[in-house]
Amino acid sequence: MSNNKSLSQYITLVPSSVMIGVFFMVPFVLIIMASVAVKTPDGDFSYGFDLTHFERFMTWFYIERALFSAAMCALISCISLLIAFPFTYMLTQFKERTKTLWLIYILAQLSLSEVLIAFSWQVLFSRKAGIGNILEYTGIIEKSFAMAPSAGAVIAALVYLAVPFAILLLYPALSRMDRSLIEAARTLGTSTLGTFFRIVIPVNRSALVSSSVTIFVLTLGAIIVPQVLGKPEHWTLSVLITDQAIFNFNLPFASALAVVLLLLSGSVVAAVMKFGGEK
């Protein structure tokens, strides 16, 4: 009887197992296989073992791209957490209704396509319909100018993309935080700012660390913003992967770059979790 029962439990899992197996495990293995595939003269490739794609990555051009991507995303992760943390802290203290309305808006903005965010910031940074016009209108600058493409534009738009994520990542920890700690500090005469820096931030240290890693990986995956708001020298690994796969039809090299991206994000996650998790 109990054997029958557990068998029927497994049977209900068969369709889901097939889907996850065929459409996640297999494609994932295919990427790894394609990254060492052999290119054939007709521009296609056949599965085999060839490390030339990784050798091609080991040139300064691509290594520099990888380092640039990592550095820029680390910077974006820090800025967006700095912006989002105080707001999230205040958000948890709002009235229930206000809180829900804010959360709905933040979720709505977070889900907005990266294409649309890139477009919005392209408009904001344009000469004719953006911040430049507002500054010209108010007389702060004499003549409006285009602020994109530039590294600053890419960073600004990616921070804007990351802030809603940062809020939602910090939100659980900050809402569950033990409020009596703050009251105790206040009773003992610590100022509001002092409490914030000496109690609120240290107590939420692990949430800050894990959120920073998540945002790092998230922005590393951005594809459209660097293309629309940056010059080719601001392209990240993700953009290069897309470029190789779609426009150069070089699937093995795209796969090799994807493996590098996977290793890069994986090792950063592991390193930060190891050192940030201590204490």
Partner 1 sequence: MKLLRNAYLIIFAIYLIGPIFVITAVSFNSKKFLAFPPKGFSFRWYAEIFIDNGWFNSLISSLLIAAASAILAVLIALPVAYAVWKSGLRYAKALFSLGVAPFILPPVIMALAFLLLFSSIGMNGLMINVIIAHAMFLLALPLVTISLGLESVDRALLEAAQTMGADGKTVFRTVILPIAAPFAFAGFAFCFVLSLNEYIIALMTVGFTVETLPIKIFNALRYGYTPVIASIAVLFLLINVVVFGLIAKFSNLSRILGAMD
Least spacing, CB of residue 117 vs partner 1, in Å: 8
Q: Which helix (H) or strand (E) holds 46?
A: strand 45-46
| Contact partners, residue 173, CB within 8 Å, separation at least 6 | 204, 206, 207
Q: Tell me which of 217, 272, 273, 276 binds partner 1, using CB under 8 A.
A: 217
Asked whether position 151 contacts partner 1 by CB under 8 A, the answer is no
Give yes or no for a contact between 162 and 218, defined as CB atoms under 8 angstroms apart. yes
Q: Tell me which of 87, 135, 151, 200 binds partner 1, using CB under 8 A.
A: 87
Least spacing, CB of residue 97 vs partner 1, in Å: 10
Tokens 């319909």 sit at which residue? Answer: 129
Q: What is the CA radius of gyration of the chain?
A: 24
Asked whether position 160 contacts partner 1 by CB under 8 A, the answer is yes
Least spacing, CB of residue 12 vs partner 1, in Å: 5
Least spacing, CB of residue 99 vs partner 1, in Å: 8
Question: Which stretch, 58-66, 146-154, 197-205, 216-224, contacts partner 1 (CB under 8 A)?
Answer: 216-224
Report the C-alpha gap between 22 and 223 in whole angstroms. Answer: 26
Tokens 């197996």 sit at which residue? Answer: 21
Phi first, then psi, for residue 145 (nearest 5°) are: -140, 160
Q: Tell me which of 143, 187, 193, 274 binds partner 1, using CB under 8 A.
A: 193
Question: Which stretch, 60-68, 122-130, 181-189, 198-206, contacts partner 1 (CB under 8 A)?
Answer: 122-130
Asked whether position 54 contacts partner 1 by CB under 8 A, the answer is no
Tokens 């709002």 sit at which residue? Answer: 94
CA distances from 75 to 114, 124, 201, 277 (A): 19, 22, 19, 20
DSSP helix/strand/coil, 94 = coil
Question: Which stretch, 59-67, 145-153, 165-173, 180-188, contacts partner 1 (CB under 8 A)?
Answer: 165-173
Residues 11-50, interacting with partner 1 (CB under 8 A): 12-13, 15-17, 19-20, 23-28, 30-31, 34
Q: Give the residues across from 45 on adjacent strands.
A: 39
